[in-house]
Structure 1
Amino acid sequence: MSDENTKTVVATFQTREAADLAVQHMVQKAGLDRAAIFLEAVGRSNSAGKIQSGGDTASANHETRMDAPLRGEIAVSVDPRSDQAAVLHRIFGDAGAIHAAAR
């Protein structure tokens, strides 16, 4: 829940894998409640990111999937306390965010 000391922090990622890593670190390293973190495709289309990653890439036993919906970036948003903003920006950077900002 937001208060006057809280702003929404939004970061965008090229892959769902990077966005998921950021969420995992926000929960484990910053102590945020997973239910307070939101992921969504940027834009109107369903998307798994802009580039293949994770289960969509080739492995020793499987070829690269060609049906992944690569239609745009993934946005991660959260309403942290003001004292958590700096650690969140560091987590977003470490996970490969292409843009992060408070609004």
Structure 2
Amino acid sequence: MSKTITAAFTTRRDAEMAVEHLVQEHGLDRNAVRIETVSDANTAGTEPAGGDVEGGHEKTATEGSPALAGKIKVSADVDEAAVDKVRSSFETYGGTGTAA
């Protein structure tokens, strides 16, 4: 029986790292995993990360800075046997509110 496990992340980078961990380390089909915003706002998360930070400081003088208007949601459709692995991966990368 398939379940959908969902978690919210504060940065797009953390969401993407969780997805890559599921795909590369646990062999999940990439098509079974979705990344989307929690709200209707176009957002890159609630905190700057990755390419948004330079030398430990948030970039301020660049065009096209990502909107930090809400969390990023990752959902994975998995078999019952993979539920704990998915939750663990989500938590490792800061995912909160993991639910089935």
Superposition deviation, residue 54 in structure 1: 0.5
Count of aligned pairs: 97
The structure whose residues are more often strand, as a share, is: 2
Point out 4+ residue stretches in structure 1 off by more than 2 angstroms: none
Q: Where do 5+ consecutive residues of structure 2 fail to align?
A: none
TM-score normalised according to structure 2 size: 0.89
1:77 to 72, 75, 78: 75
In the alignment, does 2:94 pair up with 1:99? Answer: no
Amino acid aligned to 2:22: M
Aligned equivalents of 1:89 and 1:63: distance in 2? Answer: 30
Q: CA RMSD in A?
A: 1.8
Deviations 1:69-94 (A, max 9, x none): 10000000011010000011110111
Match of 2:3 in 1: 7
- Report % sequence identity: 38
Identify if the C-alpha distance between structure 1 residues 63 and 89 changes in structure 2 by more than 3 Å, giving closer, same or farther: closer
Match of 2:84 in 1: 86
